[in-house]
Every structure is written in structure tokens, then in C-alpha cells.
Amino acid sequence: MRRLFQFLYQYRAFLFFFFLELLCLLLVVNNNPYQGAKFFNSSNRYAALFLTGSKGISEYFGLKSVNQKLADENAELKRHVSRLNSKLFRLNKANSQSELFNQFDFTSARVIKNSVRQSQNYITINKGSKDGIEPGMAVVDNEGIVGKVKTVSNHFALVTSILHTEVLVSAKVKRTGDLCTVEWPGRSPYQVMVTYLPKHVNIQEGDSIVTSGYNAVYPEGMPIAVVKEYGLKDESPFYEIKAELTGDLNRLSYVYLVKNNLKVELDSVQTEEREVQQ
């Protein structure tokens, strides 16, 4: 308190001068309409700029919760779309199983670590076993497939990215329905190879490559890539195809985990089929 009084006493002349200036300004503004109007217009403009800036800052720091909410809503919408598609399929196919109506569930998650420059890339997400995440679940985003869950802990999960040289994805040409395989050659994070597509297929530049649905991981028809270049070698029965991924894995923020509720049953049937063939 004593230092405050010392400060006021030391600068008493300046403070008194400043007080008189403010008093004069107040008198001018209150007693002159033109100056008063100019002052209040200017003050309103600067106040509006300040409020706009503070609002922008608060909205920026609130983007995390907004994005999480949007991701959760998108997951719910995807779940409803999947169930509606299954319902339509069930209505159109008399011999379809009613369980298809609830075949796929979607859960949103935030990406907390991602790599795209290694030969074997992985993604870490902020959902784990306590959120119902299990190894083997498909991971997608709004633009296409992302990968598959490898391991989980209570609160986190490690995802094997599609940008992994040992990952093979069962796919098909959307336009023709012909089966093929998608794999990453380990170079550009935007480009994959489409293999095992027979050369009698009428492939075209711009054809969409989608998931085949012939495994228990990815739902059928999910986007993977678009054909950019293709060619043939005389000695090979298959095309050599370069395709561009539909999604940019460099910019992943939120993903969706897809749980196939019929996976155990489908795996069991396929296992029995392999045993019979052997």
C-alpha cells in the first residue's frame, strides 16, 4: 500500500494532467453533437472489432469439441445408412437374413498419431477396449478406407494403415464388378497398385475401385481408389494398374471404426469351407 501511495505522489502531476484531459474530452463529446457522434461511431467500431476477435478466438479453442460432436453425429448417420441399406436389401431379397439389418456399427475416434512415410505405417486413435474397439475392426473416414485395428489397450488402439506394404485389400471395379486386390507399393502416400485384375476386363481410366465385401472386415462398396494408369505385358495375364487413393491419409483427424456384428459367424463358415476344400 505504501508503494502505491509513493507511486501516486511521484506521478501526481502527470496523473492530474491525464485526469483533466479525460474531463475535457468528456465535456467536448457531451456538449458537441458532431464530435459526440464521431466518438461513439469510432468506439462502436473498435468495440465490434474487439468482440469479433474475441469471439473468433473462443470459437477456435472450441473447435475440438465441435469436431468431436460432428464425428459422433457422422458415425450415427453412417450407422443409420448401413441399416437402411440392409433393410432395403432384406426387402428385395426374400431369402435374406433379418440380422443383416444390424450388421454394421460405426464408432468415431480421433487420430492422435499417424505416419505415412514409412514402409509399414500405423495410426494411433483415442478409443480402446473400454469403448468397444476390438482387433480386426475396419477403420474408414468420409473419403474411403483407412486401415484395420491391430491391437487395443483400455483407452487407445493401434491401426495398421492401408499404407503398409504387407496389407492386401479385397476389392472390385465398381463399374464392372470384377474382383481385384489393392496393395501399397511403399512409395507415394497417395498412390496404390491394383493387382490380379484379368486382362480380359474392360478397364478404363477413372474407374472407381471399391471394397468387394468378400471378407468380414470392410463393408461392400466402400471407396478405395480411382484408376489413373494401366497397361499390359504380353507374358502377364493381369493388368498393371496405378490408382490414386480417394482419401488423403496425410490429413487424418477423425476416423470411424466399423464393427461387423456377423464377423464371427462369417469367419466360422469360411473356415469350414477351407477345411472342406483341403
CATH code of 132's domain: 2.40.10.340
In a domain, 9, yes or no: no
The answer to whether residues 130 and 23 belong to one domain is no
Query: In this prediction, what percent of the chain has a pLDDT beyond 70?
Result: 66
In a domain, 115, yes or no: yes
The answer to whether residues 185 and 220 belong to one domain is yes
- Cα 150 to Cα 169: distance, rounded to the nearest angstrom: 15
Domain ranges, residue 41: 18-61
The answer to whether residues 44 and 172 belong to one domain is no
The answer to whether residues 175 and 248 belong to one domain is yes
Condensed to tens digits (0 to 9), the pLDDT of residues 131-189 reads: 999 999 999 988 899 999 999 999 999 999 999 999 999 999 999 999 999 999 999 99
* Domain final residue pick, 61, 79, 96: 61
Looking at the 3D structure of the chain, how many domains does it have?
A: 2
Least confident span in 135-144, 219-228, 259-268: 259-268
Question: Does the pLDDT value for residue 98 go beyond 50?
Answer: no
In a domain, 95, yes or no: yes
The answer to whether residues 102 and 214 belong to one domain is yes
- Cα 196 to Cα 221: distance, rounded to the nearest angstrom: 18
Q: Pull the grid cell for residue 49.
A: 472489432
CA proximity to 152, closest of 259, 58, 57: 259
The answer to whether residues 219 and 231 belong to one domain is yes
In a domain, 11, yes or no: no
